[in-house]
Amino acid sequence: MRRLTYHEPESLKDAFALLEGHGETAKLLAGGTDLIIEIKQETKTPDHLISLRCIPELQDIDYSNGELCIGAMVTHRMIEQSKLIREKFSLLADAVDNLGSVQVRNVATIGGNICNGAPSADTAAPVVALGAKLVLDGPAGERQVNVEEFFQGPGKTALAAGEILRAIRIPTLPQGAGSCYIKHSRRKAMDLPLLGIAVIIVPDDNMVCQEARIALSLAGPIPFRAKKAEAFVTGKPLSREIWEQAAQVAVSESNPRTSFRTTADYRKKMICALIPRAAETALRRVNKAWMKG
Amino acid sequence: MAKVLEPQIKDGQLLKIGQRVPKLDAWDKVQGRTQYIHDVKLPRMLYGKILWSKYAHAKIVSIDTTKAEKLPGVRAVITGYNTPEIRVGFIKDNPVLKKDKVRQYRDEVAAVAADTAEIAAEAVKLIDVVYEELPGVFDPEEAMQEGAPLIHEEKGSNVLKLPWKMLCGDVEEGRKKADFIVEENYTLPFVTHCCLGTSGCIAQFHANGNLTVYSPTQIRYLAQKDFQDAMKALGLKGKRVQVIQTAIGGGFGSKLDTYPFEFITILLAHYTGRPVKLVYTREEEFFASPGRQPVRAKISQGCTKEGKLTFRDVDMILDNGAYTSWGATTPSVMMMPISSLYQVENIRYVAKCVHTNNIYSTAMRGYGNPQATFAIESQIDTLAEKAGIDPWEFRMLNRNKPGEITPQRFEIGSCGMEECLVAVKEKLQWDEKRGKGNGRGVGISSLIHVGGGARIYKSDGTGTILKLDDYGKVTVLTSASDMGQGSDTVLAQIVAEELGVEIEDVEVIMKDTNLEIWDAGAHASRSTFVGGNSALYAARKAKEEILEFAAGMLKEPKESLYLRDRMVYSRNNAEVSMALDKLLRAIHFRTNGRQVVVSEFYDPPTVMLDREMKGNFSAAYTYGVHGVEVEVDQETGHIKILKYVIAMDVGRALNPMAVEGQLEGGCAQGLGYSLMEELQLDKGKVLNGNFLDYKILTFPDMPNIESVIVETIDEKGPFGAKGIGEPPLVGSAPAIANAVWDALGIRIRDLPITPERIVAALEAKKGS
């Protein structure tokens, strides 16, 4: 019979000590919406669970000096309800809107979502598009890693033994930017994406693309920026046609897989179908912001 | 011979029938008071766990249970080698513990009883089984070929000796008469019930050798018989078996048979001398609980220039899986829509059930009807299209009518098919919306199902014992089963109506084979019709007795008396009245006094199907029409349901709220079957055995369902009602497929209608 010891440290320092003390027999527990299932299925078999829920500095959303800083233990529900994120980082709000259910969003955290390294993580493509930096803290001190470098393979991340993700730092988007994330899934709730598409665009006054960022999840083993497609649209007028062509370029950069959930072929078709739609919504949001301003 | 009594609808309007009464069990359920099998605990109870096969097809070379037996807390480890053989299924081809070989991943190889569920789970992992893998066969058509691996060597063939066949009229003649003929192939997937309450039972032997089984079964009395048969193998012939039904956390047909796990629990209880509980995990529920059988159908139909159907010709192959449960008999119900949905004289139907190393199938809501109706109703549209006739007009032209006798010799009494068609056409704005081909489209599908029981067994009866106490309260002991469909509520309404009491005065007990009279089980949408008539006639007997006594006491002719508002009144004399409870006490507390207790066994006036598979096996037939408007995303293939209408001829809605609940629930299940449900198997192994990957609709996915209740007041039904348990899910899939056709001109002939299939069909259309 498996016995688990549950720890609830109240400071990072105590958490580090526990991590060090129990080594590989310990697992960090954030919301637990994945880990607890894995423990029940015995695909993960820790002896110690170190919960991060009582560590105050991991719980806040902070916006200052042109930077959004989200604590690792911030729940998806908090993100969903943050007006600031919905206005200034719309694609992140899109990502949590259809994640699981309200009950799941109440406990699941952004830090857990990222540190799991699951290809299907809903926040992965948005944070990649946002160029987030992850603040990793450990006994050896703090370091910052670009989120793109953090994801190393399905279930594999740059988080070293003994380290804890403290926060996700996201630089403010350029003036006049619009963004959108589309989760393509079969159901409207309690589902994983078959494909995730995050688009950020910055048009100039003549609707010519100054900057474009396109991040895809489930289009390959890890979330990535479709750099060629980004380069393709940059400097071009933002028409549907251009985006359709950019989507084709993005497909050439992708390497989705066939699983029992869907086929690689269908995922590629969805890249083509959905990049223009994400761009359209992002652009509409730019215009809305202008109208407001 | 069964009797038919006229319902007595006198003394003005009905007071309890037709009311929107919330389900009586609802509060208990939402407040967590309902006792499911998962909640039941008996003193000294042990926990059972099954070791499942590691292969789809393999020889068992050896089983070593030594390590498991040594684990502290383990009380018994059983295998096919240290227990007497017990076989289950209606052709008894499924030994409850497998010896020599396994034929599917859900095969039971060994089982453990232990002090806790955790120890039992740990113990089964300690059992060493050496297998020698055998080549498997996972496709029914491959399984039919010469030289295919045999699933049951002793049977000599993978094709079951159940040659389903029905012939009516002359199909060749019908072909000659046809001006238009369409022939197509349709395929339907493996789906499963998704009961929220997982399967489980508790077996308990008593000092006298009698056995009590606690089970959320849909068939208390048929299960009792199966368990009784197993008692022989244990050397306990002649002992009594009692089945206590715990609250059913979803049935949908899954609990219409008995399964190896129940007998394994009985064996464990027998060998340990202690009560044993065995409950499936959710994962087990997905792979070790049989679902709806996959079907491949080849169908052709023909019509005249005017659109009259001239023949229907259907061949089917069913993947039976490794063993035989009720799934193998679903062709008998598929015959119903094939013979009797629309007027068509010339019919040929042949179906084969084929063993494979896939997991086996059982009954599921609709019992074959959804598969057959998908093929028939999709093709009605393609045939109408070919004949150049509006599909709605085509259906009206061929519709069934009240009083007709169908080629299968069903005696259709009440029939509201026309009213349903008209209602759906209007609600859907058929004429305005149809034929645009712009990504939006409308589709309809009709359906027929049994609505007055079904004589599958020699008896189709249900028993009722009804008593009234000194306080005017009524207790109804019925052998019907409620599994969420609302039978308890409807039976209370029927009895309250007849006895002139309030619904809260009536307690309906459906629980225990030691207490109640026999019943054929909650299947064939029969509980309201058969159980309802049984309760109605029991109440009527009690009423007669009460009024008889009241007549003497009040000195009024019996015929002038009636019960209402917990009182007895006289029609002749407004001065005369007496409270019911007072009257009941007067009957009781006197010399030679008695309490009012009556019993009734109602068996509908029907016959079993004969050797040609014909005969009026149900006392009434339910008709309905589904109508749907969809918008299809041509890039993603996603189907959005813009409107969903279901019109159902229910005879009489005894409780319109409960009827709507059935209609909406049926549509939810039907939409899942249409759009996303599929148990995916890879060489016999379930790939998506969890609620994330086996997709049923969530609340946000569920469209609003507009229900239209058509009342035809069936002369045989209780207060005119017909059964509607299964029908609401039958016609969803063809209605959606037809709407997709109308929207985009693509015909999806395989369920589920996934975005991938839509996108592929659109591409194929572009290419051609």
Q: Give CA–CA dist B192/B679, Å, rounded.
A: 7
Test B635 with A273 for CB contact under 8 angstroms: yes
CB of B687 within 8 Å of a chain A CB? The answer is yes
Looking at the domain covering A56-171, what would its CATH class be?
A: alpha beta
Among A184, A187, A263, select the one facing B695 at the smallest CB separation. Answer: A187
Domain ranges of chain B: 26-34+461-602, 37-134+199-279, 295-455+609-767
Q: Please check the confidence at residue A288 and state whether its pLDDT lies above 90.
A: no
Binning pLDDT at 50, 70 and 90, where does residue A2 land? confident
Test A262 with B695 for CB contact under 8 angstroms: no
Test B700 with A188 for CB contact under 8 angstroms: yes
Domain ranges of chain A: 5-51, 56-171, 178-292
pLDDT at A1: 58
pLDDT at B638: 97
- Cβ neighbours of B284 in A, within 8 Å: none
The 3 state secondary structure assigned to B341-408 is: CCCCCEEEEEEEEEECCCCCECCCCCCCHHHHHHHHHHHHHHHHHHHCCCHHHHHHHHCCCCCCECCC
The per-residue pLDDT for range B15-47, each reduced to its tens digit, is: 999 999 999 999 999 999 999 999 999 999 999
Test A263 with B756 for CB contact under 8 angstroms: yes
- Cβ neighbours of A274 in B, within 8 Å: 635-636
pLDDT at A139: 85
Quick check: helix, strand or coil at residue A132? coil
The CATH homologous superfamily for domain B37-134+199-279 is Aldehyde oxidase/xanthine dehydrogenase, a/b hammerhead (3.90.1170.50)
pLDDT at B12: 59
Higher-confidence residue of B387 and A66: namely B387
Among A101, A184, A262, select the one facing B756 at the smallest CB separation. Answer: A262
- B26-34+461-602: which CATH topology? Aldehyde Oxidoreductase; domain 4 (3.30.365)
Do A249 and A233 form a contact (C-beta atoms < 8 A)? no
Test B756 with A266 for CB contact under 8 angstroms: yes
Q: Does domain A5-51 have CATH number 3.40.50.1970?
A: no
Percentage of chain A exceeding pLDDT 90: 93
Q: Which residues in chain A (126-185) have CB-CB distances under 8 A to chain B? A: 184
The per-residue pLDDT for range B567-619, each reduced to its tens digit, is: 999 999 999 999 999 999 999 999 999 999 999 999 999 999 999 999 999 99
Say which CATH architecture domain B295-455+609-767 belongs to: 2-Layer Sandwich (3.30)
- Compute the nearest-CA separation of B638 from chain A (Å): 8
Do B594 and B479 form a contact (C-beta atoms < 8 A)? no
CB of A190 within 8 Å of a chain B CB? The answer is yes
Domains B26-34+461-602 and B295-455+609-767 share a fold: yes
Q: For an interface test with B, give the residue of A1, A4, A197 to mutate (most B CBs within 10 A).
A: A1
- Cβ neighbours of B698 in A, within 8 Å: 101, 187-191
Mean pLDDT (chain B) is 96
Among B688, B701, B759, select the one facing A188 at the smallest CB separation. Answer: B701
The per-residue pLDDT for range B172-210, each reduced to its tens digit, is: 999 999 999 999 999 999 999 999 999 999 999 999 999
Contacts 24+ apart (CB under 8 A), B409-412: B409/B614, B409/B615, B409/B616, B410/B336, B410/B339, B410/B340, B410/B616, B410/B617, B410/B618, B410/B621, B411/B616, B412/B340, B412/B621
Q: For an interface test with B, give the residue of A37, A103, A183, A188 to mutate (most B CBs within 10 A).
A: A188
Q: What is the mean pLDDT of residues B695-706?
A: 96
Q: Please check the confidence at residue B3 and state whether its pLDDT lies above 50.
A: no
The per-residue pLDDT for range B215-260, each reduced to its tens digit, is: 999 999 999 999 999 999 999 999 999 999 999 999 999 999 999 9
The continuous run of DSSP H or E covering A152 comes out as strand A151-153
pLDDT at B5: 42
CB of B122 within 8 Å of a chain A CB? The answer is yes
- A178-292: which CATH topology? Enolase-like; domain 1 (3.30.390)
Cβ contacts from A onto B, under 8 A: 48
Q: Give CA–CA dist B355/B319, Å, rounded.
A: 6
Q: Are strands A151-153 and A156-157 parallel, antiparallel or unpaired?
A: antiparallel
Binning pLDDT at 50, 70 and 90, where does residue B768 land? confident
Q: Which residues in chain B (611-640) have CB-CB distances under 8 A to chain A? A: 635-636
CB of B691 within 8 Å of a chain A CB? The answer is yes
pTM of the model: 0.96
DSSP type of residue B225: H
Q: Please check the confidence at residue B346 and state whether its pLDDT lies above 80.
A: yes
The per-residue pLDDT for range B300-313, each reduced to its tens digit, is: 999 999 999 999 99
The per-residue pLDDT for range B621-633, each reduced to its tens digit, is: 999 999 999 999 9
Binning pLDDT at 50, 70 and 90, where does residue A3 land? confident
Neighbours of A240 (CB within 10 A): 11
CB of B695 within 8 Å of a chain A CB? The answer is yes
Test B636 with A274 for CB contact under 8 angstroms: yes
- Compute the nearest-CA separation of A1 from chain B (Å): 7
Binning pLDDT at 50, 70 and 90, where does residue B6 land? very low
